Chain A
Amino acid sequence: MGEISTVVDKKAQANLDVFSTTLQELAATDKQILAVTSDSRGSGKLVPFGQKYPAQIIEIGIAEQNLVGVAAGLASTGKKVFAVSPACFLTARSFEQIKTDVAYSDNPVKLIGISAGVSYGALGSTHHSLHDFAALRAVHNLIIVAPADNFEAEQAIRLAAETEHPIYIRFGKKPMPLLSEENQEFAFGKGRIVNEGDDLVLVATGETVYPALQAARQLDALHGIHATVISMHTIKPLDYDLLATVAAKGCPILTVEEHSVFGGLGEACASFLLMNGFRNRFNIMGIPDEYTVTGSQVEIFNHYGLSESGIAEEGLKLINA
């Protein structure tokens, strides 16, 4: 136990790049695929898509409310619409269009939040999306996904194209190494175990899964502590079965996310565990209730402990609490 399955992947791409290439592949054979953008084809890595498939990209201009409303109208006619905009604006400026035009009307738009979390780093809080899980979890009829690596990113896009209900997928722009060569199964609502151990459970999502896996490796190497690491790529519906299975080990559980500690993965796990009789030691790592320190995504991660050493340290604290 505790053997690390991490593969150092020198070809690691940003999940956003994987989104772009995957969407191009899909669009080549499926003319119902549309990319809808709010002057975001550059930041959404959709320039090649637009060059190859000019009839399959719709530019809205910088008008995110209209982006989502128009996307809903297109989707209502059978188009497979990927509405692409920075996660910060897509899930705040157009929140009501997501709630009403997409989720409530059940128009199967694929909402793609790019440069999510603190990917925009020093551009500041206007450009951070640390609220999206919390806000969207309270909207009925919406799948919420944060892929961790290139494998999950590609699978999520392929599955989303065939999903006939609304979905939100957020991507960062940092190259993400593959987490595991062994566990290559992906389905929405099914967490992915990328390391197994009985001393600690790390439940992470999106771009925090990789540092969580590194933390597990450090805990093993330095302390002989064996941690299970779960990529909980689907925030909603949450994989309650998997949570119950790992919680039954009785060991401490630490959640990690690039999101406010309020209303995201951690609180979703906490409420499930508490309501189902689990009393494991538990803590939530994320961005505290403040405007973040200025810095790059990596610097912000390090500042708040969303790093190999920071997660390992919190894991140790929880075990020794």
Chain B
Amino acid sequence: MTVNELAKKSVLYRRNILKYIVGANAGHTGGSLSCIDILNVLYNNVLNVTPETAKSPTRDRYIQSKGHTVEALYVVLADKGFFPQSDLETLCKYKSHYIGHPTRKVAGVEQNTGSLGHGMSLSVGTAISAKLDGLTYRVFTLLGDGELPEGSNWEAALLASHYKLDNLCAIVDKNTLQISGPTADVCSTDPLDKKFEAFGWSVRQVDGHDFQALTDAFKALPFEPGKPSLIIANTIKGKGISYMENQLKWHHGVPNKEQYEQALAELSE
């Protein structure tokens, strides 16, 4: 997709994220809005997976470690035709498969996540399997900057470079806020690039809302042969809705009727 097409998609995705969160009266609004442009580029310009190839052994895998921003994943999967858009009207409703974290009961979801710090190990195992079988598929995992203190991430990061997994790409949605406050205050992970480089990764930083920069970064994979790649995507929590941007309370805040209308108005501009 072109940058213009991607931009239009992101407007649609943001509108849908809010629509279904309002419908469910629950959801992780701010984080879904910070990572949606990354998912947009991944599913529309990078991953070789479609509903028809969802079980193909050679498909690229996307594993969402920051499972709580599942609304972003659901709206993209629906748009790509993995399931009917109307299914999302059941989000978080009694007996719905569309729960508040990724589950394999939903078509297109690769792994059940939700507890933080699990996506990296799952991705490393999947990437090792590709190497063992001589397959060229790639494995992508999206992490939040707030989940990086989970030690399991670093166990997996060590092993990824040990096995030279240049078919693995981790993306950090660095929106700098987590539920209790700024990530820098809760448990600083900076300088993140230096830490991952010390663990044997090749690292690039991009503006996580710049479609061209994201596309270019993904096209440049692997950044170095024989090394896993890390994209630090600098993002804005609540991106796209003026009153939500960089505001902690929108971590899992749900807009009321007026706020929702204002958000939709901003998204149609």
Contact = CB atoms under 8 A, between A and B. Distances in A.
18 contacts: A34-B132, A61-B159, A61-B162, A63-B158, A66-B155, A69-B118, A69-B125, A70-B124, A72-B111, A72-B125, A73-B121, A73-B122, A75-B125, A78-B57, A96-B118, A100-B114, A101-B112, A105-B111
Q: Which of B113, B114, B124, B125 is packed against the most chain A CB atoms within 10 Å?
A: B125
B155 A63 contact: yes
B129 interface: yes
A76 interface: yes
Nearest to B104: A105
A75 B133 CA distance: 13
A148 to B, nearest CB: 32
B128 A70 contact: yes
Given A78-B57, A96-B115, A101 B122 contact: yes
A75 B120 CA distance: 15
A29 interface: no
Contacts of A71: 125
Interface of A: 34, 55, 58, 60-61, 63, 65-66, 68-79, 96-97, 100-101, 104-107
Given A65-B155, A79-B132, A96-B118, 16 more contacts: A61-B158, A61-B162, A66-B121, A66-B152, A69-B118, A71-B125, A73-B125, A74-B125, A74-B128, A76-B111, A77-B133, A97-B121, A101-B111, A105-B104, A105-B111, A107-B111
Interface of B: 57, 104, 110-115, 118, 120-130, 132-133, 151-152, 155-156, 158-159, 162
A66 B156 contact: yes
Given A55-B132, A66-B152, A76 B115 contact: no
Contact of B112 (A60, A70, A100): A100
Given A78-B57, A97-B118, A101-B118, A73 B123 contact: yes
A100 B132 contact: no
B152 A73 contact: no
B118 to A, nearest CB: 6
A276 B67 CA distance: 41
B125 A76 contact: yes
A225 B176 CA distance: 72
